[in-house]
Amino acid sequence: MPLYRDSGVVLRTHKLGEADRIITILTRSRGKVRAVAKGVRRTKSRFGARLEPGMHVDLQCYEGRSLDTITQAVGLDAWGHVLASSYADWTAAVAILETADRLTEEHESAVAQYHLLCGALRTLAGGAHEATLVLDAYLLRALSVAGWAPSLHDCARCGAEGPHRAFHIASGGAVCPSCRPAGSSAPAPATLELLGALLSGDWARADDSGPRERREGSGLTAAFAQWHLERGIRALGYVDRTPDPGRTR
Amino acid sequence: MPVFEGVVQDLIDELGRLPGVGPKSAQRIAFHLLQADPHDVQRLVQALSEVKAKVAFCETCGNIAEGTQCRICADPRRDATAICVVEEPKDVVAIERTREFRGRYHVLGGAISPLDGIGPDDLRFSELMARLSSGEVTEIIIATDPNLEGEATASYLARLLSPFELRVSRLASGLPVGGDLEYADEVTLGRAFEGRKLLNA
Ligand SMILES: [Zn+2]
Ligand SMILES: [Zn+2]
């Protein structure tokens, strides 16, 4: 059976039988892969904690007919382990992992999604920015890579130059006065600026934002993600948004 | 695809729904029961119906109980100042086997798992907070599973407990006894380092 090697991030795990687990991994070159880790639930397993959600590993697997089998896993980054020690970080990480799972397909290469995911978990584990900001930046960018970039400045419908006051999720973002559908919201201009900063990676600006813009921005981002992903992202409802006094500026 | 007819297949199907029992084991158990002494089978039937009729969950700690209080909560010799928080009743059994702990337990009913739709409100955290209100409890030992969900559940609980004046600890995740150090993964080895113990204290 053909053997392959790849690096990947564990997205989620499922129990299989007495001691095994099915591990869903987003790999660098093969897209999403589902593979069996034999004996991983036994305390003496040589995989140890490496195949838990949020862990970054160098894998060796052999291809199977329906499921691959993991023969070796070497730890690259223990992001999952670092993040589990802070509840807010962990819940943000789980939402990120679920989103990555939903935006990728098995055996379809998704290099950009892989790099975004690694970047988000690395940033979250680094602890320099508030967890919900990292989550929102990831969601906006991952949706953009998937072809659903929100329009935060110009009109999402006709392209008229912004800034515009109205925002309409189903239309794709900001809308001009003549395109504005009924039911559009009117977020604070500072909120759209924050989302723009998150999308472009302008952390200095994002860190300077206030709690009100962050809250409104998170709401818009979550609504945007839920709109585009059928069935929504379950873990988004569990994200801990208790302000962390150590990290807000 | 049913292989056997009628009641035998029904039995195999029912057994196959038990955790950890695959189709092969279900078949093996079914044939064992068919050949077993009728009295032995009767005892099993009785145990199964009695467990459902008599056993409930302890009103205080959530452990398995016959009556409103479990054996441990009802025992006045147990130390009422220390509570060990676990995920499932089977974890109480595991810790009791060590004979290391003389306090009481609190069973959460699982771990926080957003992907499975289990958040803090679905577990018995508020019942634990209620037990702390009397001020009698001075120590909490968190013994959630040594996986990342267990760790995240522990960090949630640690934050919840931070306003109280309590000694809060988490079970050290050590190296598996009987294994070789070189095979331990970095997370397990790292946690074993954090939880190392003074030998000359
Ligand atoms: Zn327009
Ligand atoms: Zn009890």
Residues A138 and A164 in one domain: yes
- Cα–Cα dist A103/A113, whole Å: 8
Residues A101 and A211 in one domain: yes
Query: pLDDT at position B146, please?
Result: 85
Backbone angles phi, psi at A140, to 5 degrees: -60, -40
Q: Which domain holds residue A68?
A: 3-77
Q: How far is B169 from chain A (nearest CA, A)?
A: 14
B94 in A contact zone (CB under 8 Å): no
Residues A33 and A136 in one domain: no
Residues A147 and A212 in one domain: yes
Residues A185 and A220 in one domain: yes
Checking if the pLDDT of B199 tops 90, the result is no
Q: Point out the domain boundary residue: A28, A58, A77.
A: A77
Whether residue A247 lies inside any domain: the answer is no
Which chain A residues are Cβ-neighbours of B117 within 8 angstroms?
A: 234
Q: Which string of DSSP letters, residue by residue, matches chain B?
A: ---S-HHHHHHHHHHHTSTT--HHHHHHHHHHHHHS-HHHHHHHHHHHHHHHHHEEE-TTT--EEESSS-TTTT-TTS-TTEEEEESSHHHHHHHHHHT---SEEEE-SS--BGGGTB-GGGTTHHHHHHHHTTS---EEEE---SSHHHHHHHHHHHHHHTTS--EEEE----PPTTS-GGGS-HHHHHHHHHT---S--
Mean pLDDT, residues A121-125 taken together: 97
Whether residue A243 lies inside any domain: the answer is no
Q: Which residue has the higher pLDDT, A222 or A15?
A: A222
Q: How far is A10 from chain B (nearest CA, A)?
A: 12
Per-residue pLDDT tens over the stretch A217-243: 999 999 999 999 988 899 999 999 887
Q: Is A204 helix (H, G, I), strand (E, B) or coil?
A: helix
What share of chain A in percent tops pLDDT 70? Answer: 97
Residues A71 and A168 in one domain: no
Per-residue pLDDT tens over the stretch B163-181: 999 999 998 777 766 667 7
What total number of domains does chain A contain?
2
Whether residue A248 lies inside any domain: the answer is no
- Provide the residue count of chain A: 249
In the numeric block, the tokens 């030992």 are attached to B141
- Side chain identity at residue B71, one-letter code: R
Tell me the average pLDDT of chain B: 89
Complex ipTM value: 0.88
CATH no. for residue A55? Answer: 2.40.50.140
CB proximity list for B17: less than 8 A, separation 6 or greater: none
Residues A27 and A134 in one domain: no
CA of A176 to the centre of ligand 1 (A): 4
Mean pLDDT, residues A93-121 taken together: 96
Report which DSSP code applies to A13: E
Say if residues A59 and A5 touch (Cβ distance below 8 Å): yes
- Cα–Cα dist A151/A173, whole Å: 5
Backbone angles phi, psi at A79, to 5 degrees: -55, -45
Which helix (H) or strand (E) covers residue B86, if one does?
Answer: strand B82-86
- Residue of B25, B115, B170 to mutate when probing chain A, most A C-beta within 10 A: B115
- Cross-chain residue pair A75–B117, CB shorter than 8 Å: no
- CA A42, A46, A52: angle at the middle one, nearest 5? 75
Whether residue A249 lies inside any domain: the answer is no
Q: Point out the domain boundary residue: A44, A77, A110.
A: A77
Q: Point out the domain boundary residue: A47, A77, A107.
A: A77
Whether residue A138 lies inside any domain: the answer is yes
Question: Which of B154, B90, B155, B149 shows the shortest CA–CA distance to B116?
Answer: B149
Residues A34 and A97 in one domain: no
B188 in A contact zone (CB under 8 Å): yes
Residues A90 and A107 in one domain: yes
Mean pLDDT, residues A23-38 taken together: 95
- Cross-chain residue pair B185–A75, CB shorter than 8 Å: yes
Whether residue A36 lies inside any domain: the answer is yes
CATH no. for residue A116? Answer: 1.20.1440.120
Residues A91 and A188 in one domain: yes
- Domains in chain B, CATH or no CATH each: 77-171 (3.40.1360.10)
Q: How far is B35 from chain A (nearest CA, A)?
A: 26
Whether residue A125 lies inside any domain: the answer is yes
A47 in B contact zone (CB under 8 Å): yes
Residues A21 and A71 in one domain: yes
Whether residue A245 lies inside any domain: the answer is no
Mean pLDDT, residues B183-201 taken together: 75
Residues A93 and A64 in one domain: no
Label residue A249 by pLDDT band (50, 70, 90). very low
- Cα–Cα dist A72/A58, whole Å: 8
Q: How many CB pairs under 8 A join A and B?
A: 71
